[in-house]
Amino acid sequence: MHFLEKLLRDQELWLMRRVRDYALEREYTRYTSTLEEAWRVSISGLTDSIICALAISDDPWELGPDDDYANDPMAEFGKYEARMHRLRGITLEMFLGLMKYYRQSYLDLVKRSFPSQPEADSTKDPARYARFIERVFDRIEIAFCAEWTRSETVSNAIDELQVANRQMTNEKNRFLTIFESLPSAVFVLDDKGIIIHMNHAGARLIDPAATSGGHYYSHPDDQILFPWFEGELARFRMTGEGGVFEFQLMLAQGDHRQVKVRFREMQDISFKFPGTIVILEDITDLKRVEKDLIEALSALRQQASHDPLTGLCNHGEILSILERQLSKSKRDGEAVSVIMADLDHFKRVNDTYGHLAGDEVLRQTAQRMRSVSRDYDYVGRYGGEEFLVVLRGCDKDSAVIFAERLRLCIGSKNMAVSEGTIPVTISLGVASGGGNEEHDADALVLAADKALYRAKRNGRNRVETATEELPVATP
């Protein structure tokens, strides 16, 4: 690849910005495209013309009296641009003036990319490449001047402009229809927060009776202040941060809508149409579905981890909690105690009063156990009429006191069921572990279970503690 070709290809963005800056300085941007791609295409087309000339010869293309500029391949882009700009109502003088700054941008690139002093190597001579670029631009300009002033072109100019005007009107109407049809509310704001444009969805947020195209055709000069996000917009304009967030809008008619808000600066590299675009996507229904889904998942998790009769943790969940608390106790050195509790003579309750009454006794037992537990204690139904309580940060002496409180809470007052009142007592076994040693959850539960059955043998309605030393868990 030729050195100049590589330079022009690699520096396409620099060239685009350079000519854009010249156009801004000389106010040509009042009549040029606002979008970056249009400027890139123009630079790419001119670069292609220069590379086309390079492919034939890298000697400067001097001008001759018999040169056929109309059929010059390196000037084809100039002829095309002449036709396009003429159809847009651009004058020859204006087009030639801007082309001088395109030329200057390429010359600036050569000047900044080569040493100031020419070298013996002609491939690094800046004057030679500057002259080459000058002559290519000369040929392009001559070609589009010839194209612009051809007699048949002049005679057809009015017809061409009329056709182009109809096409641009249709193009405007198409994009206006697309803008009005967008389901999300879109607002274009000036730097004072005044609405320059808004689509139908946006207009309806401000006035529910708004019609499609109403703001564009009937109220284009109304000075409507955008009613939301003043602080957020100020921050976005200053820092470029906070451009996406969710918000609950309160509309004039009292309705509340949850929206996803997006801010975006106008993509206008000519700075002709400054402003901020605000897009409001109505996510009210999505949030409602999301809330329902979260509640459904929460209900599923509750069903999977809790006993449906008592609402306590089920067997698997209470054991998982115990294992987590033992792991935590190894890190922080806190004791962990468990209480295994079993209702006394519960079979008699079922046999005497029926299973529905037995279920009610289990429910009331669970309620009373929760009522005396701390927020960070865990109570679970271990199975049948057995309950397991996990006490975090609680040594054996404190656990015994807590177990006595449970026993008194359960047995101090008969339980009322539809069949009458039932006296209920409970036996409890206490075991403690954790602290600086790692204990196995199964071993801790087994120790509490043995203490429970000792309470049963010793007369029921009492608390017993584990007597054997707990084995230390092996890795």
Q: For the segment 191-228, what is each residue's pLDDT rounded down to a tens digit?
A: 889 999 999 999 988 888 888 888 887 777 788 999 99
Strand partners, 339: 389, 430
CA-to-CA distance for 226 and 241, rounded, in angstroms? 19
Amino acid 124: pLDDT = 67
**pLDDT exceeds cutoff 60 at 388:** yes
Mean pLDDT, rounded, for 161-180: 79
Mean pLDDT, rounded, for 10-37: 88
For the record, the structure tokens of 144 come out as: 């589009």
Amino acid 272: pLDDT = 76
Amino acid 345: pLDDT = 95
**pLDDT exceeds cutoff 60 at 118:** no
**pLDDT exceeds cutoff 70 at 404:** yes
Please tell me which residue, 322 or 435, carries the higher pLDDT value: 322
State whether the Cα torsion 269-272-275-276 is positive or negative.
Answer: negative
Please tell me which residue, 235 or 157, carries the higher pLDDT value: 235
pLDDT in tens, 335-371: 999 999 999 999 999 999 999 999 999 999 999 999 9
**pLDDT exceeds cutoff 80 at 434:** no
Taking CB atoms within 8 Å and a gap of at least 24, the contacts of 244-247 are 246/283
Full DSSP string of 25-59: HTTGGGSS-SSHHHHHHHHHHHHHHHHHHHHH-SS
Residue among 181, 146, 154, 150 nearest 68 (CA): 146
Average pLDDT for the chain:
87
pTM, rounded to two decimals: 0.56
**pLDDT exceeds cutoff 70 at 454:** yes
Q: Per-residue b/e over 336-358, b at no fewer than 16 CB within 10 Å? A: bbbbbbbbbebeebeeebeeebb
255 falls in which pLDDT band (50, 70, 90)? confident
State whether the Cα torsion 197-198-199-203 is positive or negative.
Answer: negative
pLDDT in tens, 268-284: 877 777 889 999 999 99
**pLDDT exceeds cutoff 80 at 77:** no
Mean pLDDT, rounded, for 93-115: 89
Full DSSP string of 68-129: -GGG-GGGHHHHHHHHHHHHTT--HHHHHHHHHHHHHHHHHHHHHHS-SSPPSSGGG-HHHH
Amino acid 274: pLDDT = 81
